[in-house]
Amino acid sequence: MTVTVRIGEQTPTRSLILPYNKSLGSEAIELYEKSGRTAFDWQRFIVDAILAKNEQGLWVHMNFGYSVPRQNGKNEIVAMRERLGLDKGERILHTAHRTTTSAAAFNRLLAVLEESGLEDGEDFHKIKATGRESIELFGGGRVDFRTRTSTGGLGESFDLLVIDEAQEYTDDQRSALMYTIAASPNPQTIYTGTPPTPISSGTVFTRMRDNALQGSVEETGWAEWSVDKQSDVRDKDLWYQANPSLGLRVSERNIQAEVGDDDIDFNIQRLGLWIQYNQKSAISENEWKDLHVDTLPWLTGKIFAGIKYGYDGTNVALSIAVKTVDDKVFVETIDCQSLRNGHAWIIHFLKNADVQEVVIDGANGQNILAEAMKQAGLKKPILPTVKEIIVSNSMFEQALFQQMITHKSQPSLFQVVTNCDKRNIGTQGGFGYRSQIEENDIALMESMILAHWACSEAKPPKKQKIRY
């Protein structure tokens, strides 16, 4: 009895491959498979397209991007391309967002060489220095592995540029790296990654995909395995549509274990969903300017403080909110400082201001600050739940549209608020905010939203009754 094993879809869900008659794909795969590995059909398809050549012997696709859900083996394609590049004498720069990813790429290519029978010291030379690994084939090419920065690669020259974790590739990084292949007679750039999540910092990969699928760029190819809308995470047919290596190296059982409460994350990471975020700021300059007041309004009641620790663990921001006599909420940012400066400045402010409630968010600091407040004899702060964070963002947006907020146009807050996107929180349509500009710290805005929430939700203190 023959048992048929179901495997994932081997052809891309969406792609744009330019016409070609010749490719070095078979040669690359042959070199790769000397290591004992076997290239899957979908990997062969991508490698053939990447290594397609025109009649002048130049790459048909000077730029090629592909998006595949995690653990399907997309980086094996890069290893095939780099292995051929070593054989052809190319100078290659492999960049990644994280040092661990760069190191993993180095170890992957090293294993391909060693398992093909090549030996370090006889056939190639390797440098295994964290963050600056390299492999040089004697009589051939060289691959340098680097973690991306806004200045990395300046002054160096390469033939092939690999952008690993492309969903995190920023415009600043692109400006630093794009000219490193300008002097090559036959340059090529490969982008590989997954669809960006709401907290991904990169914009280049999304823009490249949009332009490629619209056919608005030349000499560029694209391929992806994906769903086109948010879908049922338990629909196994979609698992096979979006995961070409399902049944080959990924199992149904493993995917089943990934199904949890966050349907949006599963759609992005496992089903390859590209969520369309509005590139315009979620809050326009005019909307924020309409809330400006020239002079401080008449305030009533006590101060409410919002404190937010940044996602990268670098900064902490403090903002305040106070009710006005016309029942609006006046907001203002106090400061945003490096965590290296400690908490003394926050404690000093809270002890000397007439504060009714303090809200602290950020797992990397809220408990430490709460303990510091306790030691200082201050009232216990509110540590909001995810549900309450969602409510605070929704209340802020409603108050914004109803013009129930006032402010004095602080430049730092203006810059962050008018350059922000929405990001998904949870699975019930909740949202938060993220910065469109890498240098802006969204914690500044989020601390202000927390203060506004505490102020809006607070009940006026009961008047003390005195009986005789």
Mean pLDDT of 187-210: 88
What distance in Å separates the CA atoms of residue 250 and residue 242, rounded to the nearest whole number?
A: 12
Confirm if 242 and 250 have CB atoms less than 8 A apart: no
pTM of model > 0.85: no
Helix (H, G, I), strand (E, B) or coil at 111: helix
Q: How confident is the model at residue 150 (pLDDT cuts 50, 70, 90)?
A: low
What is the average pLDDT score of the chain? 90
The CATH fold assigned to 14-269 is Rossmann fold (3.40.50)
| Region of 377 on the Ramachandran plot (φ > 0 left; ψ -120 to 50 alpha; else beta) | left
* 14-269 and 285-457 in the same fold: no
Provide φ and ψ at 55, rounded to 5°: -65, -25
Residues 6+ away with beta carbon under 8 Å from 436: 279, 281, 419, 420, 421
pLDDT digits (tens, 9 = 90+) for 353-389: 999 999 999 888 899 999 999 999 999 999 999 999 9
pLDDT digits (tens, 9 = 90+) for 293-332: 999 999 998 999 999 998 877 899 999 999 999 999 999 9
Confirm if 310 and 443 have CB atoms less than 8 A apart: yes
What is the SS3 assignment for 306-354?
A: EEEECCCCCEEEEEEEEEECCCCEEEEEEEEEEHHHCCHHHHHHHHHCC
DSSP class of residue 178 equals G
What distance in Å separates the CA atoms of residue 288 and residue 410, rounded to the nearest whole number?
A: 11
Residues 6+ away with beta carbon under 8 Å from 35: 111, 112, 113, 115, 116
For residue 275, the model assigns a pLDDT of: 76
Q: Which architecture characterizes domain 285-457 according to CATH?
A: 2-Layer Sandwich (3.30)
Please state the domain extents for the chain: 14-269, 285-457
